[in-house]
Every structure is written in structure tokens, then in C-alpha cells.
Amino acid sequence: MPKQEVGSTKWLGNKMKAKGLQKLRWYCQMCQKQCRDENGFKCHRMSDSHQRQMQLFVQDPNRFMDDFSQEFELGFMQLMGHTYRSTRVLANTVYCDFISNRHHTHMNSTIWVTLSNFVQYLGRTTQCKIEKTPKGWYLCYIDNTPEAMKREQDKKDLERHELDAEVQHESYLAKQVKRAGEFHESEFTELQREEGDAPIAFAMSAASSSSAGALPSAVAASAAKAAKDAPAPSRNVLEDAFEAHGSDAKASSSSARDKKPAGEKMSAAERIRNEFEGREKQLSGEKKMSAAERIRNEFEGVKRQKVIDTRQPSSSSETEAEPWLAAGLVVKVMHQELANGKYHRKKGQVEKVHDQYAADVRMVDSKDLIRLEQEMLETVIPNVGKRVRVVKGSHKGHRATMRAVDMTGFCVTVELDNGTVMEGIGYSEVCKEVG
């Protein structure tokens, strides 16, 4: 049957029919030809070109199927990474979007028979998170590219640095609180007079008594009569303060009176001005002196505090500073920042001890040799029946066998080599020994 002429009605109809998707079973992947019906697909299979392609396929069928499977997987994952990167989508929806391209690699040429098998394969290879529901299989894309892994690692490093900063800030606050000491609230007591119930009397100078002449005569007479009839009061603090003030005022105004001509009286205004000037000079001198004394006292207090802190350590710090390291012990590393936490909570064997408080530790997993201080190490409690060594207490250095572990009381029971059974020993007093 001759082909239709280009531009004819039949030719346009054939083009319009071939434009849409056809049935999958009438597609030949080796020849990349789509047939519209079963008769056309049968004719294609009998053609010489198809027979030549099938001869090539028979020679190495696994290679062709692997290539087609890789092409199908690559195209499907590209569509997932571009269109459905951050969404949870139905697998059938993605498949329909993928086969909308007429030139895609068809599934009947791959190693997967159904779409469910392909979805399960994506879940096994951690390319997508899969979930089976009554509606079908759901997919969620997992970004395994180097850029995404680097972003995730940077995010983890930032979180770790922020956590380390918070821990350092908390330790700094704890040190400041410990240095400040305990806070004692002030205790309020009732005001008590040491002089008893005697009335309070004020000693007025002659100058001040003369200036008080403006008072009514009745008030002055009653005050004089009360002072005459009352018994002699005992001296108290207020009286001494007023007398001291009067003596300071007289001393400050003596220079001003000396300048006056002999026999001339000083007015009340001049006397008040001279007293005020003398008092200001005295206060300025006291302020300067008190500032210097305050600086000196603060400096001496800081020095005294430092001496007290260094010479009087607490009992808990003395107990923690007791050396317990020895060669042959199995210890646990508690350093969080060493090698970005690579050795944190990992076990190692002590090979050599330096100055009683430092040791060379050979890590069990990585076989690395590192030197750490005693405060960065922790004892290891083995299983029952294993060998241990007593590292603290009166039996320090003795070897023993683990008999029981009390998880609630944080203590163990060991039996020394001489037959002595010791109970209630803390975790920090025994340590696992090699051998």
C-alpha cells in the first residue's frame, strides 16, 4: 500500500493519530517504534529491520535490559528531583507525568515488571522514602547530592558549635556564682537605746542662744524651768555629735574673728558664712581621703580573696584531684571537643602515665594514640566475673574480680585476690583492667 502524499487529508489524519499516546504493548523499544494497533505491531515484527535488531538483542540480552533500566531510572529520578523535590506525591502521578513524553524509555523493556516493584526498588536504594497507603504507593524525594550532604554537614556543625557555646556560657555562670559565694539576707533588729529612758538634751552654744531671742518669752521660760527641774541627764551620742559640730564651727570661724579688729562683734550672717566655708573644706578633704582609702582597701581585699581561694580548696576538689591513672587500665574518653567529638565516650587502654595526672591512651576502635588529662577520662565498669583494679581508697592498687553491680546505688561488689569481699564501692573507685 503506497504512502499518503504529504499534506493530504489521510496524511494529516495519520499524524494526528500518532501524536497522542498509544498502548504500551504495541511499542518496540529496540526499534523505538510505536504502532497503533495489533496488526501494525505484527507487521513491524515481521519486518527485516526488526529482525536485525532482535538478532543483536539475542546476542547479549542482559546488557540491553540493563541499559534500558538505567535510562528509565535516570529519567524518573530527574523528574522527581525537578518537579516533586520537596513534596509527598503518589507514584502513579509521577509515572503518568513521566510517560507523557512520547520518546521516554518504556517500562516493558526494563527489569521491573510493575510500577510497585520499581517503587520498592527506590526504597531499598534510599533514593526515595516510600509509604504504602490504600490509595497506592507514595514517594518522597531524598536529596543525596554532594551539595545537599555538604549543607547538612554545615548545619550539624553549626548546631554543635551553638551547643558548645551554650555549655561554655553555663559553666562560666556557674563559676561566677561559685566565686560570689552564698548570699546572706540582712537581719533587721529593734532599735535599742543604751542610755535608758533619760530625756534627750541638746547643748546650745551662746551664739545660737542669742540668735534664738525671737522666741516668745513664755516658751523660753518654760524651757528654762524644765531644764532646771529635770535631773542632770547622762551624756549620749547625739550630745557628743552636737558638741563636736560646735567645736568644728568655732575652730573654722576663729581665723575669721582674728581678722576682725579688737572689740568689734561679728554679725550672724558672717558667722554662718564662715561656718559653711569651713565645713565645705573639711568635707572635701574627707572625700579625697575616703576615695584613696577605698581604692587601697579594694586592692587589699582582692589580694586577700585570691590567697584564700588558692590556699583553702574545698574537700570535693581534693577528692577529685586524687590521681588514679595506671598502665593497663581501660578508660573512657569524655572530651567532647577533641577531633570534633570523634573520641567522645570511646574506650581506650592506658599505655603510659605522665606526672600522675596525664596518660597516653591507645583507642580500641581506631588504634590512635592520644594524650589526655585525668579529668577528661572516666573509669570503665566491666561485666560480672571480669578483672578490675582498685584505683582509690585504702586498697588502692589491689587487683580483684567483679562480683555484682548495683545500678540503683551506683556501686559494685568486688572480691580481692586475697579473698576479701568489698561491697558498696563507687564506680569511680574501680576500673576495668586489660587481661
pLDDT of the residue at 284:
61
What distance in Å separates the CA atoms of residue 29 and residue 108, rounded to the nearest whole number?
A: 8
Q: Give first-to-last CA distance, the chain, whole Å.
A: 92
Tell me: do 417 and 335 sit in the same domain: no
3-state class of 177 per DSSP? helix
Tell me: do 346 and 389 sit in the same domain: no
Please enumerate in sequence order all residues whose Cβ is within 8 A of that of 14, keeping only pairs 6 or more positions apart, or say none. 4
Three-class SS string for 212-242? HHHCCHHHHHHHHHHHHHCCCCCCCHHHHHH
- Residue ranges making up the domain that contains 421: 382-435
Task: Supply the pTM of this predicted model.
Answer: 0.32
CATH for 376? 2.30.30.140
Tens digit of pLDDT at every position of the chain (435 positions): 577 778 788 777 777 666 666 666 677 777 877 777 788 888 888 888 888 888 888 888 888 888 888 888 988 988 888 888 888 999 989 988 888 777 778 787 888 888 899 999 998 888 899 899 998 999 998 887 777 778 788 888 888 888 888 888 888 888 888 877 655 566 667 766 666 666 666 666 554 444 444 444 544 455 555 555 555 545 555 556 556 655 655 555 555 455 445 445 567 777 777 777 777 776 665 555 555 566 666 656 554 544 333 333 434 444 456 899 999 999 999 988 888 888 888 999 999 999 889 999 999 988 899 999 999 999 999 999 999 999 998 889 899 999 999 888 889 999 999 888 999 889 889 999 987
Tens digit of each residue's pLDDT (9 = 90 or more) over 98-150: 887 777 787 878 888 888 999 999 988 888 998 999 989 999 988 877 777 78
In 3D, which of 324, 325, 326, 329 has the Cα closest to residue 435? 329
Q: In 10 A of CB 167, how many CB atoms? A: 12
Tell me: do 43 and 122 sit in the same domain: no
Which of 139, 154, 169 is where one domain is finished?
154
pLDDT of the residue at 13:
73
Amino acid identity of residue 264, one-letter, is E
Tell me: do 32 and 108 sit in the same domain: no
| Domain total in the chain | 4
Please enumerate in sequence order all residues whose Cβ is within 8 A of that of 119, keeping only pairs 6 or more positions apart, or say none. 91, 128, 130, 137, 139
CA 343 from chain center: how many Å?
19
In 3D, which of 59, 71, 80 has the Cα closest to residue 32? 71
pLDDT of the residue at 319:
45
Tell me: do 43 and 107 sit in the same domain: no
> Residue 338 falls within a domain, yes or no?
yes
CA 2 from chain center: how many Å?
82
Which of 86, 121, 154 is where one domain is finished?
154
Tell me: do 51 and 82 sit in the same domain: no
Please enumerate in sequence order all residues whose Cβ is within 8 A of that of 82, keeping only pairs 6 or more positions apart, or say none. none
- Asked whether the beta carbons of 239 and 202 are under 8 A apart, the reply is yes
Which of 380, 402, 427 is where one domain is finished?
380
Tell me: do 416 and 390 sit in the same domain: yes
Cα dihedral 41, 42, 46, 50, rounded to 10, equals: 20
Here the cell at position 224 is 528654762
CATH for 395? 2.30.30.30
